[in-house]
Each structure stands twice: as structure tokens, then as C-alpha cells.
Structure 1
Amino acid sequence: MAEHLLDVRNLSVEFHTASGTVQAVRNISYHVDRGETLAILGESGSGKSVSSSAIMNLIDMPPGRIASGEILLDGKDLLTLPADQRREINGRRIAMIFQDPLSHLNPVYTVGWQIREAMTTHGMDREKAESEAQRLLGRVGIPEPERAMKKYPHEFSGGQRQRVMIAMALALRPDLLIADEPTTALDVTVQAEVLALLKELQQETGMAVMIITHDLGVVAKIADRVVVMEKGVLVESGSVREVYRNPQHPYTRKLINAAPGKGEMHQPPAPREPILSVRDVRKTYGAFTALKGISFDLMPGETIAVVGESGSGKSTLARILLRLDEPDGGSALWKGRDLFTLSSAELYALRRDLQMVFQDPTQSLNPRMTVFQLISEAWVIHPEILPKAKWRARVEELLEQVGLKPEHMRRYPHQFSGGQRQRIAIARALALEPQLIICDEAVSALDVSVQAQVIALLDRLRRDMGLSFIFIAHDLPVVRDFADHVMVMQKGELVEFGTVRQVFEAPRQPYTRDLLAASLDPDPDVQAERQQVKRSAL
């Protein structure tokens, strides 16, 4: 019996590109034991996903190349095994679940077929695979598993799709489950459910779990040990409590200090004449009621956060306020003028005052346009803002304002990181000199330190320019640090509204209390205390 279930030794991975060789992983070593949960923590580009891809033999070679090292499973080096033996191990001994299940589930096959395939490929007969797939769907909490077997991936919610992926990964009872950012885009309550499910399944099966994440709260919730990676190098390792309480490396300290939810709460601005007054906004899609009479006031220079689970109506509200969708009833007075009754020409003129920053800048930025073209497009549409002779200087100024460099204007979106692309999206919104910016999950997919930088940037812009924000988010610690007031939405209704301090320290509604309880804290002692309280309540 080998000392460790998985033992990665001196692993180096490099990629050959047109601009030279990129060393994605440099001489890293770590291990995972049976029944243990190891977290690999790091930001985008740290090499954490590349190292797991090497374990699963998922690196395209070329351009990739494993330059050195060993990957030992029960003492046997996977890198020396022939391809047919690696295929036999993948799925049966080591399984993997990914960040975006919609991208990794085949849209043209039912989920039942896809789970069965994972078993029949490794020799299980079809009838047994059918009954086992149905049992697994029930075990991971999918309602009516017999009917669910016949459904396609798009017919499930994000959290349910992740559960389907977990069922598929567990089909052959692997010794090691690798989970690559499995909860990043999920609501706080769904995230808590998925992490609790992984822990339950681990206790049932005795499997080891390796979770790859940039979220300190996930590490505190589920992991026993953690290794920290930066720019392809393993910079720190230890128990979760040791690393959080006494980090040795500056990068680890930077990650811990960047974790949201620990700063001073905002004092809301003094009551004034609202810049936006929303009354009784309603929206129905067929038989589904998305908004049920939403009302609130937004003051100049104020940030209102809108929180709630998927399906609560947050994004529908944002789209209606910008007239991207039409309401069924109600009013939205912008400086006394009802946005819902404006003509197309009037709305066109008003667009420059109301801007939006979307969740995914990769999809919201045209890949064929340079940064200069993306930002200056605003002045093509609204030429009265700025004469063409001043465009270049203003683009440079905006890029510097959001923490980028003037020379970046010549690049295309794919040449930037996710955090940099979001900064470009913010610069584009600022080009029109708006008075209100609606941020729809604008920081949810960003690394913790990049997220902290973007929030600090938005906060500075609010102070310097007097901007107002409607900030849609499911990350409650970020909301606590950034917002003045919080709107809590559930199934199309506004169930609670108050200052950040009122909502976070004295929530009135059970639903709000459930959201706050499900929010993960980066402190492992806080997580352990919450778990103890939960067990005592059962």
C-alpha cells in the first residue's frame, strides 16, 4: 500500500505559444490521502486547473508538454502508463466535475443516457447502468429521478446540472473526485447544498476529494488541508486553520486580506429627492410571474444591492429598468419622467444616463473590436458628448481611471484576464458619463483580490463622480462591504428592504436569515461554529 492515494511530485507543465514557452506549472508537489479533502487555492493563471488536467490526462499535447515530474496513484506513475490504462483509470479510479456543467454536458443527449454511458463505457451492462443512474440522481437530490432521466441538460437549473455532474462522476465509485470550481456561479444556498452533498457522499464512500477554488469560504467549509498556488508555483501548504490563522507567504496574506465582508459598513446618504422612484413594477412571462409589484427609491450617489436566489427576479428588474424588457405595469420615475412611457427617441437620448455592466465581459465585449473601438463606440452613438479629436485622450484617461494602461487600447478582449475585461466593461460604461450604473453580477466570477480591486474602483467612482448603483449580487460579503441599502427578493417579491446594517445584523425575514446563514465565511473557526449550531438545531 502506497503512503498516499495520490502523490504529485515535482510536476512541471509548459505550453509552447507563438510568443514563446509559458511555464504554467513549475515543480510542484502535493498529496491527497484516502477520505481527505485537499483544496488547491489560487487565482486565475496560478496553474491549479492545469495541474488537475495533468492528473486526468486532459492537456492537449502539443502545445502542452509535461516537462518533469511524477503523478503517483497508489504508487503507480500515471505518466508512464499507456493510453488504454489511463482511460481505464479515468472515471473508475479518478473522476472530475467542472465549473460550468452546461459546457460539459452534451446538449443533444438526455442526462440519463450520459450517466449510463459513464458506466457502460467501463463494462457495466445497460440494464444495471439504467437502475444505477436513476438511483444516483435520487441520491444527489434530483426530484423525480425516473422522469429526470429523460430530460436534457437545459431543462435543469444551474445547481441541478451540477448535481447531475456529481452523479455522473460518482457512477463508478471513484477513489478520488476532483472538483474544479464546482460552485463559483451558484447562489449561496445552492452552493451550500452542493458542498454539503459532496461532504455527505465522501463520508458514505470514503473517497478523497480535491477541490480547486479561488474562494476562501469554500476552503473553510469543506477542506482539511490547503495548498496555495501563485503563477505556477506552490507557495504554501498546511491545515486550513494553520494557513488562515498564520499565513507565511505574502501572496496568501494578500488573498486572506482581500476576502470581503470584514470592512466597515457604509453609512447611507442623507435622504434627498430620489433620482429613481420605482412603484409597483410587475412582469409576467406566460404563466410565470417574474415580478410582483416591486417598489423602491434610489437616492443620488447611493448603492442599492439586490440579492436573492436564481429566479427571484433580480435580472428581470434590471432589464425592465433599462427598457430591455417591457413591464406589464407600474412606473419608474427617473428625475420625474416615467421611463416606461418614454418614446423610442426620448429613451435613446436618455440611454447615456443609464448604463449596465454585465456578469460576463467575454460575452458583452465584441471580440472583433479593439479596446479603443469598444470604448469610443459610445461617442459614435452619442456624438454630442465628445468631438472625435479628443477620443484618444479620453480613452487613455478612462483606462487609467479603471486601473489599466493607455497602451491597452490597441489590444482585443481575448488578450486580457477576466478581471481586466471587467475593467474595460466599466470604462465603456463610464464613457457616456452616466448617473446610474446597474451591475448584474459584475464581480461574481472574479478572483478574490481582483474582485476587491473592482469593488474599490466602483466605490471610488461613486465618491468622485457621484454615481448611483443598483448592484445585483449573490455574494453577500461583497454586498456588505459595498452597498448602502439591501433589497432581498424571493420569487418575484421584495421580502425585505433596509440599510446594510439592519439587514445583516437584524434580518426580519426567515428567507433573509437563511441566505445569511448559507453565506460562507473564510474563517474556518466561524464555519465550524455555524456547523455546530446547525447540528444542535436538528
Structure 2
Amino acid sequence: MTDHLLEVRDLSVEFHTAAGTVRAVQNVSWHLDRGETLAILGESGSGKSVSALAVMNLIDMPPGRITSGTILLNGRDMLTMTPEERRQINGATIAMIFQDPLAHLNPVYTVGWQIAEMMTTHGQPGDRARARALELLGRVGIPDPDAAMKKYPHEFSGGQRQRLMIAMALACKPDILIADEPTTALDVTVQAQVLALLEELQQETGMGLLLITHDLGVVAEIADRVVVMNAGEIVETGNAAEVYHNPQHPYTRKLIDAAPGKGQMPKERDRSGQPLLQAQKLQKHYGAFHALKGVDLTIMPGETVAVVGESGSGKSTLARAILRLDDPDGGRILYKGSDLMAMPPRDLFRLRRDLQMVFQDPTQSLNPRMTVFKLISEAWEIHPDILPKAQWKDRVAELLVKVGLTPEMAKRYPHQFSGGQRQRIAIARALAMEPKLIVCDEAVSALDVSIQAQVIQLLDGLRREFGLSYLFIAHDLPVVRDFADRVIVMKSGRIVEEGTVRQIFEDPVQPYTRALLAASLDPDPQVQAARRHAREELEQRIPA
């Protein structure tokens, strides 16, 4: 037998913190072969990303330390290599797609320059590198690649930035691609395109793909084998179908049971009475780009309205316009009958506590210099009538528990948490204001399935207890199916279809809506294989 392309043996990693030693990875062993996709599945904090960072030599040491193990690339231990040898490998032989694209794209350089730099650093001529960068932008689904080459990261949506990261990682045609939650921020159709692209590149190059994910649907679509991690340890391994249909460990069963989209659809809600919020004929331009084109929206008290659509469809722009974080260029926004566009600043300030938002990217929305306690309690400093200061500590602890964290975490800073854990902190901060409407912009997209289920259950419980309403922006259609009352489908700045969850999921009218539903992934590998086969047959019947 030949050596594995990449093999990790008895790897242990620990971090020394003020609160003590954290054993993030404990005696982990797995391997990856050429042309194979290995998925590492587990909750936030399970050690999946730390394992990948150890392979890339990207663990901060100190406070981190690899205490045992070997990492073999084509039989050679990378932990014994010199820094110069590792630099020749990273990017060229082993590349990585990171979970948080905005934190890993340089804001002062154009994206075309950054993708080309991946190749020029490893010796390719500049003109060839630029041509390859242009080709990659098209392959990962960026509109108008020629214009995109000259743009900066902030000019792209969250999903588009993730596609840029994928283009950078593929630039040097690596032997191994480590993908850390590569499709978390992508809508379902682009997710399907990206996964298909990765499979196509595997067939072309024999590349091994190490996929780190919390999404069982992605595992079902693309993974050959699965490694399930919990609390830094491997609890189960096997091929994707075996692990899903015959899990041997209670933790694996817990993950499978938490997968969304399998329960009963919400009953149709009574929509009589005065709306909580209305948007009428909203318009928004960014230069020549028309982001919103006459959008109408109504949210009733206690109602959850989901907005779905591809990246760049206008979902996040609609959310920011409604909250006046980015004033629209036309139209009206009515909250309990009062026009927010005509409201004086003092009245708008008082109203802010009623309207809260959980942003898509917690790394950017959480101040890195503030502890979790400070981040959550800051709202009570701004609005001191909400809660007496003597109760702040207990309330912060209560909110952290509600979102699946522990009270001891209040002393930490955002960088000490995983991506999913940071999003939970952002949700706790929004809940601190006791709002009437929470706008969730991909608020659960970064969460693993079991915590995602807990957070959705929490939001639903708060809705029933306090009469909360939600504007729920999401690309995860199974979550929308379980949680929303009504669904709005957006494309190119317009609403193309609207209806109850049952109407949209069981009897969609528009071809665009049907395409979104067809691209949604099922956690059952057998169901997903049949769905993909049907999709491929349909594509073959469509004339070129």
C-alpha cells in the first residue's frame, strides 16, 4: 500500500489561557488520500478547525502548543520542517479556505491583485497570474469578472467574499485543499455550484479535500468519509451513509436528530390587526447599482418573515434599510404606523431598543477590545432604564446560558471563541435590549446543527413569551421551513414570490423559487444522491 497523501497521527494541541489550560485536540488520528473528500464534522469548539490549523502551521504559539503527534505529507513529517520549507508548501501544495472571509481578505488591495499574489509568490509570471485570477473569478460565480478584478473586498456581499477566498485557495492548483466551513455564507444555488466545482477540480487534479463543516447536507453531498469530533476527540468515523443511517455514538445521533427541515411546518398565522412594521416601495442605489427596486414588506406582531434569495439579491440591503442603518433612496418605513424616515433623531434613538439586529459577520460586529460581559451589558449603559446595574452580572450569565454558552465565558474576548460561538454572543447582545423586532441577517448560518436547533428553539420561545417578531434573512431553506411563518423570495432587488411556508415549499410558482428549493441539500446521503441525480438529468434535458 502507498502512503496516504496526508496523515495525522496522535495529534494533541493545547492552549494556555488566564483561566487555565484548554486541551483543544486530544490524540486525534485521521488520513486523507488522493481524490478523496474527508469531512470533519462537529460542533463549534470541538477541535475541527484547530486540527486544520495545525496542518497549515497557523496555530499561534504561544498560547497554543502542539504537545504530541506527527503530520505526514507524502510520508514526511511537516512538524519537523523548517519555516522556509513550510512556506513553500502552504498555498502551493496545501491551501486553505478560511471560515471568515472578511478577516482574511486585505481591505486595501483589489481582489484581482490578491488572487494573483497567490501565484506570483510561488514564482508564476504576473501576466499569467492575472489571467488565471480572471478565470477563477468566473469559475466561482463572481458576476462580471473583469470589473470584479478591480474591486475591493468591501464591495462584495458576504457570500461573494467567500467565493473570492475559494478562488485564492485554488489559484496554485494545490494537492490538498482544506475547506473550513467553505459554504457557510453561500446561498443554496451557489453552494451547489461551489461543491460541484470542488468535485470537478478533484477529478481533474486528484486533489484531496479536507472539509470542516457543521452542515450534514454538505457532508451528504460531497463527503466520502466522515470523522465526527466532540470536545477535542474523535468519537466516530465511517463513510457518510454508514454514519448517517447507523450512528454508533450518542453524540453523532444528537447531531443527526438536530438537522432542520424534517419537522412539521408552522401553522398559518392570523394576520389581522395593525402591522408592527411596513416597508413601502423601498428603493436603494449604490452608484449605478440598483440594490432595491420598489420592495414592499409587512411584518405583523409575533410573526416571523423570512427573506431568501441568492447573494446580491438585496436581502441584507433590505434589512439595513428597514433599521435605517443605511437610509433608502425612496419609499417609506412605518413602525406601528409612525414613519421612521420622518422621525427626529431623539425619537429614533429611543426606538432603537425596539429594533435590534444580529449581523451576518460576528467578527466585524463585536468589538475585539471588549469582554463578552461588556459587549452584552453595553446596551444597559446606553439605555439605563432597562436594567439596574446590580442585576447586570446575573442577566449576562442568564443570556449566555440561553444561547448555549456558559457564564464563565463572560470574562473572555471575542477572539477567544470559534466563529459559531461569536455568533451566539451577538444574539445574546441583541436579546439584552428586550426588543419587539429582531432582524436576523444569516444569524444561524455559522452555527453547528445542534446549537442552531437550540437557538431557533430559543428565538421561537421568546416570540411566544414576549410577542417578538423576526425578519429572518437566510439561505438555509430547511431552517426557514421549520421557523418562519411567511417567506419572501428576492432576486436582483425585487420580490419575485411571497407566501406562507407551506405555499412556498410545497407549491412554488416561480421557476427561480423552484431552483432554490432544488439546490437545497438533504442530510441523508441516499436522499441527496437521488436529488442530485434528478438535478443532473434535468440539466441534461435542457438544451445548450
TM-score by length of 1: 0.89
Residues 437-485 of structure 1: CA distance to partner in whole angstroms, max 9, x if unpaired? 2222222222222111111111011111122222122211111111111
What whole-Å deviation, never above 9, does each CA across 1:125-167 have from its counterpart, x for those lacking one?
5565555555555555556666665555555555555444444
Q: What is the rounded CA distance, in whole Å, between the counterparts of 1:389 and 1:131 in structure 2? A: 62
Q: Tell me the residue number matched to 1:211.
A: 211
Contact in 2 for aligned 1:221/1:520 (Cα 8 Å): yes
Hey, what does 1:473 align to over in structure 2?
474
Q: CA deviation at 1:322?
A: 2.4
Q: Which residue of 1 aligns with 2:260?
A: 260
TM alignment of 1:375-524, pairs within 5 A? 375=376, 377-383=378-384, 385=386, 422-524=423-525
Residue 248 of structure 1 is matched in structure 2 by 248
Q: Deviations over 1:6-47 (max 9, x none)?
A: 222111222333443322211111111111111111122211
Contact 2:282 2:293 in 1 (8 A): yes
Q: Structure 1 CA distance, aligned partners of 2:267 and 2:127?
A: 63
Change (3 A) 1:384 1:84: closer
Q: CA deviation at 1:379?
A: 4.7
What letter corresponds to residue 461 of structure 2 in structure 1? Answer: R
Cα–Cα, structure 1 residues 338 and 128, in superposed 2: closer, same or farther, change >3 Å? closer
Q: One-letter code of the match for 1:448?
A: V
Listed as ranges, the matches of 1:311-350 within 5 Å are 311-350=312-351
Number of residue equivalences: 538
1:224 and 1:138 map into 2 onto residues whose CA distance is 27
Q: In 1, distance between residues paired with 2:132 and 2:410?
A: 54
* CA drift at 1:121: 4.0
User: How many angstroms does 1:316 deviate by?
Assistant: 2.5
Aligned counterparts of 2:289 and 2:37: Cα–Cα separation in 1:
41
The answer for the alignment partner of 2:73 in structure 1 is: 73
**Matched letter for residue 95 of structure 1:** A
Aligned partner of 1:306 in structure 2 is 307
Contact persistence 2:159–2:311 (CA under 8 A)? no
117-126 vs 459-468, greater mean Cα deviation: 117-126
Instruction: Provide, for residues 363-400 of structure 1, a one-character-per-residue CA deviation record: whole Å limited to 9, x for no partner.
Output: 44445556565555545544555566766676666666
Q: Determine if contact 1:269/1:301 at 8 Å carries over to the other structure.
A: no
Distance 1:65 1:412, change over 3 A: closer
Query: How far 1:236 moved relative to its partner?
Result: 0.6
Deviation at 1:530, TM superposition (A): 1.4
Structure 1 residue runs without a partner (length 5+): none
**C-alpha distance in 1, partners of 2:160/2:391?**
51
Distance 1:530 1:44 in 2: 29
Structure 2: state its 5+ residue gaps: none
Farther off after superposition, 246-255 or 94-103: 94-103
SS of residue paired to 1:282: strand
Q: Deviations over 1:402-442 (max 9, x none)?
A: 66666766666566665565555445444444322222222
* Post-superposition offset of 1:500: 0.5
Provide the rounded CA distance (Å) in 2 between the counterparts of 1:156 and 1:428.
26
User: Counterpart amino acid of 2:303?
Assistant: E
Q: Which moved more, 1:370-379 or 1:489-498?
A: 370-379
Tell me if structure 2 keeps the 8 A contact 1:2–1:74: no
**Aligned equivalent of 1:278:** 278
Q: Distance in 2 between matches of 1:354 and 1:148?
A: 34
Partner of 2:181: 181
Residue 528 (str. 1) matches residue 529 (str. 2): yes
Distance 1:493 1:17, change over 3 A: same
Paired position in structure 2 for 1:56:
56
Post-superposition shift, 1:176? 1.8
Cα separation, 2, equivalents of 1:140 and 1:401: 38
Residue 25 (1) aligns with residue 25 (2)? yes
The Cα shift of 1:202 comes to: 0.7
Q: What is the DSSP-based 3-state SS (H/G/I as helix, E as strand, rest coil) of the residue aligned with 1:251?
A: helix
TM norm structure 2: 0.88
Does the 8 Å contact 1:159/1:194 carry over to 2? no
Aligned partners of 1:61, 1:373: CA distance in 2, in Å?
27
Change in Cα spacing, 1:72 to 1:167, as seen in structure 2 (3 Å) is same
Give the Cα separation in 2 of the matches to 1:372 and 1:103: 23
Instruction: Give the Cα–Cα distance (whole angstroms) in 1 for the partners of residues 451 and 250 of structure 2.
Output: 16
Distance in 2 between the 1:270 and 1:147 partners? Answer: 47
Deviates more, 1:480-489 or 1:342-351: 342-351
State the AA in 1 paired with 2:42: G
Which range is displaced more, 68-77 or 206-215?
68-77
Q: What is the match of residue 96 of structure 2?
A: 96
Q: Does the C-alpha gap of structure 1 residues 397 and 513 become closer, same or farther in structure 2, counting only changes over 3 Å?
A: same
Give 1:200 shift: 0.7
Query: Partner of 2:521: helix, strand, or coil?
Result: coil
Identify if the C-alpha distance between structure 1 residues 268 and 58 changes in structure 2 by more than 3 Å, giving closer, same or farther: same
Letter in 1 for 2:481: R
Distance in 1 (alpha carbons) for counterparts of 2:299 and 2:103 = 38
Structure 1 residues 74 and 107 mapped into 2: Cα distance closer, same or farther (>3 Å)?
same
Offset, 1:123: 4.4
**What is the rounded CA distance, in whole Å, between the counterparts of 1:246 and 1:259 in structure 2?**
16
> Residue 198 of structure 1 aligns with which residue?
198
**Contact 1:280–1:292 at 8 Å: present in 2 too?**
no
1:179-231 Cα distance to aligned partner (Å, 9 max, x none): 12211112222222111111111111111111111111111111111101111
